[in-house]
A and B are shown apart, each in its own frame.
Chain A
Amino acid sequence: MISQILGLVMLAYLLVAVLFLAAELWSSPRLQSWARVLLWAGLGVHTGALLGRWAGSYQLAALHSAPAVFADNLRLVILQAPLSNFYESLVFFAWTLPALGVISFRRHLQGYLGAVVAVLACLLLAYASFGGVDSRIKPLMPALKSNWLLIHVVTAFLGYAGFALAFGAAILYLLQDRRPRASLPPLAQLDRLIYRATVLGFLLLTLGILTGAVWAETAWGRYWSWDPKETWSLITWLIYATLLHARLLKGWQGRRIAWLAVLGFMAVLFTYFGVSFLLTGLHSYLT
C-alpha cells in the first residue's frame, strides 16, 4: 500500500521536474506555481507515507513486545522510525531533497534548479521501487536498537541532501559557465546557493558523524573503528572542509568551488552506495 503511494509520489516528482522545465522554456509564471504546488503536494504525501511506514513498523514491534508504560512506548516509537534498512533509507533520502531544498533554497527552488532537485528525488524513489530493494518491514536487529538510530540517520541523510543540493546548483553553474543562457539562474546566485547548501550539508554531516561516534561508543566501545562507512564519511567531510576553507580563506569562487562540490558529492554517493555494495563493514546491515 505504502509502496504504491510512493510510486505515485515518484510520478509526482517527475511531473514537477517536467513542469519546472516547461515553465522555464515558456517562461510561464503559472506553470512555475503549478510545479511548486505539485512539489508541496508530493512532499506532503511523501511525509504521510513515511509516517505511515513508521506506524506500521511500530505496530509490528508492539506485537512482539507490547510496551507497558509510557516511557517504554516512547522508546519503541523512537526505535521504530522507518530508517532501519536500505529501502527505508532510500525513501527517506528522497524525502530530504525537496524538504531541505524548500528550506535552503526557498524561492530559488524553481526552474532548472527545482527540476534538478525533483529529478534526483524521483531517481531515488525509482530505485527504491524498481531496484529490487527489499521493501518489507522487518523487526529491528539488536545492533540497531538504540535511541541514537533516529538522530544519527536523520542528520546523516540531511547532510547528504545538503550536498546533493549543492551538487545540483554546481552542475547548473558549470553549464551556465560553459555556455551562458538567460534562462539559467545568474552565476553569482548559483555560487551563493552552492555555498549555502554546502554549509548546511557540512553542519548536518558533522552532526551525523558525531552522533554515530557516540552511538558506536555505547554499542561497541569504540567511537571510531575505521569502518569503511566511517572512513568514507570522513573523506567526504575532508573534501567539504577543503571547499569551505578554500572559499572562505582563499577566496575561491565559481568554477573551482563548483568542481569541488561535484567531487564532494561523488564521495557522498560512494559513502552511501559504494560502501554498502563494494566494501563490507559494520554498516553492512543496510543492505
Chain B
Amino acid sequence: MAGRPRGLGLTLSMVTSPAQRQPKSWLWGSLTSIRLTVFLLLILAGVAVIGTVVPQDQPPGFYLMRYGQSLGAVIYYWGLARVYYSPWFLAPMGLLAVNISACLVQGLPRAVRRSLKPFTWEAALALPERGKFNWPAGVDPQARINAVLHRELGPGRRETLPDQEIYLFERGRYRPIGPYLVHLALLLILTGGLIGKFWGLEGSLPLDQGEVARTFQVGRNQHPLKFQVRLDKFLVQYYEKGGIPKEFRSDLTFLKDGREVARATCRVNDPVTFGGLTFYQSSYGSRPEGPVRLQVRHGGLDQTLELPPRRPVDLPGGEAQVMLVRVDGNLQGYGPAAQLALRGGAGHPQVFWVLQDHPELGQQPDHYQFRAESIPFQFYSVFQVKSDPGVWWVYAGFILLLPGFYLAFFRPAARWAVVLEGAASGGFKVRLLGASPRHREEFALSLERLLEGLEKGAPS
C-alpha cells in the first residue's frame, strides 16, 4: 500500500512535505503528530467502553459485592467507578486538547494566509495545462467560455493582457480553513465543559405543594437562593387511566422578600429560568398527610381502621398486621391510592395497592378485603436546579462545527483558468489550465465535462 497521504478532504498541518517544515523540537513534533491523535482517540473510546460496562457512581460496597474483594477494590480505588472524572479519561482528553491546540497553532495561520491570497493571472499561468483547442473564426469565444465554465464552476473573472485573455475560476478558496474551524469548535466545547465544571452550579430542590424554599441542595450542602420559590401546585395527568403519563407540571411562584415577583409553569422539556438559575422538572411523588382511613372486611365483619405511615397496626382478630408503605396521589391515572403490606404469621408480607376511587382494582390479600375511605396526601415535586455559564461555549462550538464541516467536506478546492489567444487564421487558440491537488476524483470529473464542453460548445 502506498504510504503517501492522498488527502482527499481535510488536512491539518501535520502532513506538510519535510522541506517546508521548519526544524522543530521532538516535543512539538510529537504534540502535532497524527499518530498521537489516532492513539488518543482509540484510548478514549476504550476507556468510554469501560465506563458503560462497569456501573458508574455506585457506593464501594456495590463493587465489592459484584466483582469480589480484589477486583472490586481495584475498580473502586483506581477510579473506574467514576471513570469519566478519573485520570484514565481526563488525561487522554487533556492531551487530545493539547494535540488539537498545537495543530491549530501550527496550521491555522498558514491556512488563513493561503485562503486570503488572491488568485492572480500569474498563478493561473503556472497551473498545469489540461487541454488545448483551436476554435474557428465563427465562434464567440467569450460566450462559449462563460457558458461552459460558469455552468461547471460558478462565476469567474477575466483578466486582459496585451496578447491574451485569461478567465479565472476558483472554487473552495476557504476550504483549508474548514478543518481548523472543526477543531476550534471541539476546543470550544471542551472549554465549555471545563467552565461548567468549575463555575457551574448544579443541585436539586424537592418542594412540597405550598412549601417555600430559600435554599437548594448542592452535593451534601444547602446552597442559599437569592430569592424564594414556592410550589403552588403539582399535577400529573394521564392520557387515559392505566396508560401513559401525559404531563408532569409544577406551578411555581418566585418571591423576593416575601413579595411575588414572577409565576411560571415548569414541565419536562420546558424548564423555567429565574435569577440566573434554571429549574427542570426532574421527578415527583406523594407523601401521606396523616393516617389513611380504611374499611377492612374479615370473616364477614367490617371494621374501620386508621393507618399512620410506616407503622404496623394489628388487624381485627389479631392474626395479622398491616402497614401503610406509601401513598400515590394519582396511581396511573386512577386517583389516590395507598400501598399496604400485610403480614400474617411467619411468611413473607403481601404488598398490594388499595385505590380510593376504584376499589375494584388492585389485588386484595388472602382472607381480607380492604376499601380506602380517605387517603390524605400531598404531592411533592423535585427540581434539578442549575446554572452553567459553559453552555454558551458549548453551543458556540456546535454552531462553529457547521461551517467547518461544510468547508472541509463540501467545498473541494480547485483552480481553473482558460487562456485565450487570437490565432493568425482569425480563429482562437484556447488552453485549459487547472489543478486540485487534494480532490483528484472531483477534479477528473469536472475536467471531463469541461473538455467536452470547450470542444463542442455548451449544449443549448
Q: Which residues of A contact B (CB under 8 A)?
A: 64, 138-143, 145-146, 192, 195, 199, 203, 206, 210, 213-214, 217-224, 226, 228, 231-232, 234-235, 238-239, 241-242, 244-256, 275, 279
Report the Cα distance A223→B334, complex, angstroms: 35
Given A142-B268, A242-B38, A245-B41, does the pair A226, B84 have CB atoms closer than 8 Å?
yes
Contact of A238 among B11, B41, B267 (CB under 8 A): B41
Query: Which residue, B14, B245, B246, B278, has most C-beta atoms of chain A within 10 A?
Result: B246
What are 21 of the A-B contact pairs (CB < 8 Å)? A139-B246, A140-B244, A142-B245, A142-B267, A142-B268, A145-B268, A146-B269, A195-B8, A217-B391, A218-B269, A221-B278, A221-B384, A231-B48, A239-B41, A239-B42, A246-B34, A248-B8, A249-B12, A251-B2, A253-B2, A256-B1
A203 near B409 (CB under 8 angstroms)?
Answer: yes
Answer yes or no: B44 CB below 8 A from chain A CBs. yes
Question: Do residues B441 and A220 form an inter-chain contact, with CB atoms below 8 A?
Answer: no
Query: Are A248 and B10 interface neighbours, CB within 8 A?
Result: yes
Closest 5 CB pairs of A and B: A251-B5, A238-B45, A221-B280, A142-B268, A249-B34
B197-215: which have CB < 8 Å to A? 202
Interface of A is mostly: helix
Given contacts A221-B386, A226-B84, 17 further A-B contacts (CB under 8 A): A64-B239, A139-B239, A142-B245, A143-B269, A210-B398, A219-B268, A219-B269, A222-B202, A232-B48, A242-B45, A244-B9, A245-B41, A248-B6, A248-B8, A251-B4, A251-B6, A253-B2
Q: Nearest B residue to A267 by beta-carbon distance? A: B45
Given contacts A210-B398, A242-B42, contact A248 B11 (CB under 8 A): yes
Residues of B within 8 A of A244 (CB): 9-10
A120 to B437, CA, bound (A): 37
Residue contact A214 to B41, C-beta cutoff 8 Å: no
Complex Cα distance, B3 from A139, in Å, reads 56
Q: Would A248 and B7 be within 8 Å (CB), given that A139-B243, A214-B395, A218-B269 are in contact?
A: yes
Query: Complex formed: what's the CA distance from A199 to B9 in Å?
Result: 10
Return chain B residues, CB-CB under 8 Å to A245.
34, 37-38, 41
Is B248 in contact with chain A by the CB < 8 A criterion?
yes
Whether B15 sits at the interface, judged by CB under 8 Å, is yes
Output the nearest chain B residue to A236 by Cβ-Cβ distance: B45
Q: Is the CB of A241 within 8 A of B1?
A: no
User: Which B residues touch A138, using CB under 8 A?
Assistant: 244
Residues of B within 8 A of A199 (CB): 9, 409
Q: Are B48 and A246 in contact (CB under 8 A)?
A: no
Q: In this assembly, does B306 line the interface, its C-beta being within 8 Å of a C-beta of chain A?
A: no
Which stretch of B49-57, B65-73, B123-131 is in the interface?
Answer: B49-57
Chain B residue contacts of A145, Cβ below 8 A: 268-269
Residues of B close to A141: CB separation below 8 A: 244-245
B405 interface residue per 8 A CB criterion:
yes
- Interface status of B401 (Cβ within 8 A of chain A): yes
Distance, CA A20 to CA B341, complexed state (A)? 64
A251 close to B3 (CB less than 8 A): yes
Give Cα A192 to B9, complex, Å: 12
A253 to B409, Cβ gap below 8 A? Answer: no
Query: How far is B409's CA from A241's CA once the two chains are assembled, in angstroms?
Result: 14
In whole angstroms, what is the CA distance A170 to B35 when docked? 23
Residue B394 at the chain A interface, CB threshold 8 Å: yes
B11 — which chain A residues lie within 8 A by C-beta? 248-249
Evaluate contact between A214 and B271: CB separation under 8 angstroms. Answer: no
The answer to whether the Cβ of B265 comes within 8 Å of any Cβ in the partner chain is no
Answer yes or no: B152 CB below 8 A from chain A CBs: no
Query: Are the CB atoms of B280 and A220 closer together than 8 Å?
Result: yes
Taking CB atoms, residues of chain A closer than 8 Å to B267 are 142
Contact with A along B232-245 (1 / 0, CB 8 A): 00000001000111
Instruction: Identify which of residues 1-33 in chain B touch chain A, using a CB-to-CB cut-off of 8 Å.
Output: 1-12, 14-15
* Interface residue ranges of B271-322 to A (CB < 8 Å): 271, 278, 280, 282
CB–CB B41/A232 < 8 A? no
Give the distance in Å from the alpha carbon of A245 to the alpha carbon of B280 in the complex. 39
- Cβ contact within 8 Å between A238 and B268: no
Evaluate contact between B243 and A235: CB separation under 8 angstroms.
no
B247 at the interface (CB under 8 A from A): yes
Closest beta carbon of chain B to A252's beta carbon, Å: 8
Closest to A191 in B: B6
Complex: A258 Cα to B405 Cα, angstroms: 23
Provide the residues of chain A in CB contact with B38, threshold 8 Å.
242, 245-246, 250
The answer on a CB contact under 8 Å between A206 and B401 is: yes
> Chain B residue with minimal CB distance to A200?
B409
Chain B residues, CB < 8 A from A217: 391
A239 touches B45 (CB 8 A): yes
What's the Cα separation between A220 and B281 when bound, in Å? 8
**Contact between A238 and B244 (Cβ–Cβ < 8 Å)?**
no
CB distance from A270 to the nearest CB of B (A): 9
CA gap between A141 and B35 in the complex, in Å? 46
Q: Is the CB of B271 within 8 A of A235?
A: no
Decide: A241 near B41, CB < 8 A? Known: A64-B246, A221-B280, A231-B48: yes
**Would A250 and B5 count as touching, CB distance under 8 A?**
yes
| Complex Cα gap A12–B398 (Å) | 40
* Residues in chain B near residue A146, CB distance under 8 A: 269
- Do A242 and B398 form a contact, CB below 8 Å, given A146-B269, A228-B52? no
Q: Kindly report which residue of chain A lies nearest to residue B394, judged by CB atoms.
A: A223
Residues in A whose Cβ lies below 8 Å from that of B401: 206, 210
Docked CA distance A214–B395 (Å) = 8
- Nearest CB of chain B from residue A218's CB, rounded to whole Å: 6
A64: chain B residues at CB < 8 Å are 239, 246
Kindly state the separation between the CA atoms of A178 and B52 in the bound complex, as whole angstroms.
Answer: 35
Partner of B398, one of A213, A219, A247: A213
Report A28 CB to chain B, min CB distance, Å.
Answer: 28
Residues of A within 8 A of B239 (CB): 64, 139
Q: What is the chain A residue whose CB lies nearest that of B103?
A: A249
Whether A219 contacts B48 by the Cβ 8 Å rule is no
